[in-house]
Structure 1
Amino acid sequence: MSGVTIYQVAKAAGVSPSTVSNLLNGRHGKMLPETRQRVESAIKQLGYRPNRAARQLRTGRTKMIGLIVPSVANPFWGTFARQLEAAALAEGFYVLLCNSERDPVRERGYMEELWADGIRGVVLCSSLPTLDHVRPLVEQGLNLVAFDRTAQPGDPDGVVNISTDNFLGTQLSTRHLLELGHERIAFVAGSIGSVNRSERYRGFRDALEAAGIPDDQITAWSGDATSTFDDRDAAELGRVASKELLEGPNPPTAIVAINDICALGVCAGVRDCGLEVGSGVSVVGFDDIMLAQMAMPGLTTVRQPVSAMAEAAFATLRGRIDNEAAGGHSMLHRPELIVRESSGPRP
């Protein structure tokens, strides 16, 4: 936050503090043009930024929270944002949306700006293993709900983690494929660098190991060293991965994708190889976005209870902002396997 005060601006412009206040609040109808220009020049030269928190206390204007998602290029995050906004609006709050691409520097920059603008509550959805990059803001008093992430060692005090049970989700989907007779099952994710993705991979492996599948038959496609977990590239990543797997030795008969967008790309790659999704190669996603049921064939996937999680995220954040709750903890919601036509018996 800028340390420049309204009094410093007034001194630099040669006017009274009330004149600067009038300009900042749009009351400049009777202000001489040269006076207005001097004040605006002083504001720009000094880098003054109005304290919106103080202004909000004076005016009683609408409250606001921040929401930082990886990217609304993935419809799951657009749906979550809409659900969180609905819960917030019902209580008189507004939501300011930011896309971080899971870049810690970008996340910290957004949160610093939100804090400087008087916003005291943020829902952070990147699921990164560490929150050290935002620790100073949390220690200053920023209320933080980490979404799609379970608590990790070293998390700042007071952070609340809200997530679906990602481990159970891929356990369910992998067991479903095993029950259909599949044994050569691949996992496609790109980078597994976030907490939610590592939990999904762990659930996948656990189901296969429990079924007695030997370790050398467990395939996880993560691309090359440059592969990321950018939601913008998930569909193309899935397409490339499935083609590589199906054109390689000992191809899988089923593929578990890290999310639905990746799974839809996997389906495209299956078709590129001249195979049918469902009857030739089974594909399972995660999230149950709207496109999953509209795909041809319909996509078998793991449904996250988005509405319940969004309501819990807002209610938790609201309680922290109103000083009604304290202490960090985790909330884990149960996922549900939704079976559609993209998964079938082993050919």
Structure 2
Amino acid sequence: MGDRVTIQEVAAAAGVSASSVSNLLNGRTGKMVPATRERIERAIADLGYRPNRAARQLRSGRTQTLGLVVPSVGNPFWGAFAREVEVAALELGCNVLLCNSERDAARERRYVEELWEDGIRSIILCTSLPSLDHVADVIEDGLRLVTFDRPAQPNDPASVISISIDNNVGGQIATSHLLGLGHDKIAFVSGSIRSVNRAARYRGYCDAIEAAGMSVTDMPSWTGFGAEQFGDVEAAQVGRAAAHALLAPDADRPTAIVAVNDMTALGFCRGARDMGLVVGEDVSVIGFDGIILAELYDPPLTSVRQPIGEMARLAVGEAVQAGARSDGAGRSVLLRPEIVVRESTRPPHSTATSRADVPTGGSR
């Protein structure tokens, strides 16, 4: 790849001044005649000129473009979050560049490097990986990093800003809801739990089981959560496979399951239907995230909801404002999730009252 084309070269090719090119790039074209504008635009296209974002941000004194790295918009939660980030960024006059990392450290590193080299100095990284060592040198060089869905970890660089819900509490809320309905055989269903947030949700599940005087080892188990894949794209397939294993005729069937996220829960519901079972009657299912599909599914899915609108605004605000703080200090924000109760969770057959006596909606 050759040297970057300069604004002076564009100006020379178009037969105009560098200030005229700058005016076009910054939208100051009110007094520019059409012929001049056409020459500049043709020169930009012919030379393959790309504006230097870093230089433009230094001149303007503010971040104009934010990087957003999510695991995969194949999970509707991340698509919804990306949209909320874009809305919040546009309100502050910023643009967003979106990347999908599949929670792979090497891909996260490559995207962070490319965004940095393109002049983007603030990135929202939705990683959940236990360590940030793979991007530590870029942070040291001055990258303003906001991690999302990942609470601060002991070895994080001091400048990192963390925005997350309390996933441990979320796991406890989900499990306690099922315990309160009378379930005593509750399984946890997930892909890999090597990520910080998933491990915390599983710990919350374990804490609630033990607080109720029961043992996690006595619960029906789904060993699929020890697999290497995280299941952001394959989450529904993971849930469906879990249903086929846990609900098999010769299995120690759970009366309820806690799924690591809504897509895994919805896959489990599909698997239960494959087995001829009715979700909410034969088995209760609770998800995590609060995606729109949870409300639209039949039966509507009970879910632990994340306040993604509020979290997106916080993440964008921190990414933009971090550049204005001279001390470079980071901070951690931990929000509390809430449960939205719908028809997928009901008392088990042995303790069930009539269907009409069981709450079917609302949040608490």
Which TM-score bucket, shorter chain as reference?
0.7 to 0.9
Distance in 2 separating the partners of 1:3 and 1:54 = 19
Residue of structure 2 in register with 1:264 after alignment: 266
Contact 2:220-2:253 at 8 Å conserved across structures: no
Residue of structure 2 in register with 1:297 after alignment: 299
**TM-score when normalising by structure 2:** 0.82
What SS class does the counterpart of residue 292 from structure 1 fall into? Answer: helix
Residue of structure 2 in register with 1:137 after alignment: 138
Against the structure 1 CA distance between its residues 19 and 64, is the aligned structure 2 distance closer, same or farther, given a 3 Å change threshold?
Answer: closer
The yes-or-no answer on 1:151 pairing with 2:152 is yes
Amino acid at match of 1:278: G
Residue of structure 2 in register with 1:251 after alignment: 253
**TM-score when normalising by structure 1:** 0.86
Distance in 1 separating the partners of 2:225 and 2:197 = 20
Residue of structure 2 in register with 1:281 after alignment: 283
Residue of structure 2 in register with 1:90 after alignment: 91
Residue of structure 2 in register with 1:19 after alignment: 9
Amino acid at match of 1:168: V
Q: CA deviation at 1:315?
A: 1.1
Distance in 2 separating the partners of 1:327 and 1:83 = 25
Q: 5 Å matches for 1:63-102?
A: 63-102=64-103
Runs of 4+ in 1 over 4 A off after TM superposition: 2-7, 20-31, 55-62, 224-227
Q: What does the per-residue CA deviation read over 1:168-211, in whole Å, with 9 as the maximum and x for residues that have no partner? A: 11101101111111111000111001110000000000000111
Against the structure 1 CA distance between its residues 19 and 287, is the aligned structure 2 distance closer, same or farther, given a 3 Å change threshold?
Answer: closer
Q: What does the per-residue CA deviation read over 1:71-120, in whole Å, with 9 as the maximum and x for residues that have no partner? A: 11111111111111111111100111111101111111111111111111
Q: Which moved more, 1:317-326 or 1:95-104?
A: 317-326
Distance in 2 separating the partners of 1:271 and 1:284 = 16
Q: CA deviation at 1:152?
A: 1.0
Q: 5 Å matches for 1:181-196?
A: 181-196=182-197
Residue of structure 1 in register with 2:124 after alignment: 123
Distance in 1 separating the partners of 2:163 and 2:55 = 31
Amino acid at match of 1:287: D
Contact 1:22-1:28 at 8 Å conserved across structures: no
Distance in 1 separating the partners of 2:144 and 2:60 = 22
Residue of structure 1 in register with 2:110 after alignment: 109
Amino acid at match of 1:208: I
What SS class does the counterpart of residue 123 from structure 1 fall into? Answer: strand
Amino acid at match of 1:321: G
Q: CA RMSD in A?
A: 2.9
Contact 2:165-2:337 at 8 Å conserved across structures: yes
Distance in 2 separating the partners of 1:83 and 1:5 = 34
Give the share of equivalent positions with the same residue, in percent: 53
Residue of structure 1 in register with 2:348 after alignment: 346
What SS class does the counterpart of residue 223 from structure 1 fall into? Answer: helix
Q: CA deviation at 1:51?
A: 3.5
Distance in 1 separating the partners of 2:229 and 2:124 = 23
Q: Which moved more, 1:121-130 or 1:213-222?
A: 213-222
Distance in 2 separating the partners of 1:118 and 1:195 = 29
Q: Which 5+ residue runs of structure 2 have no aligned equivalent?
A: 15-20, 25-35, 350-364
Distance in 1 separating the partners of 2:271 and 2:188 = 14
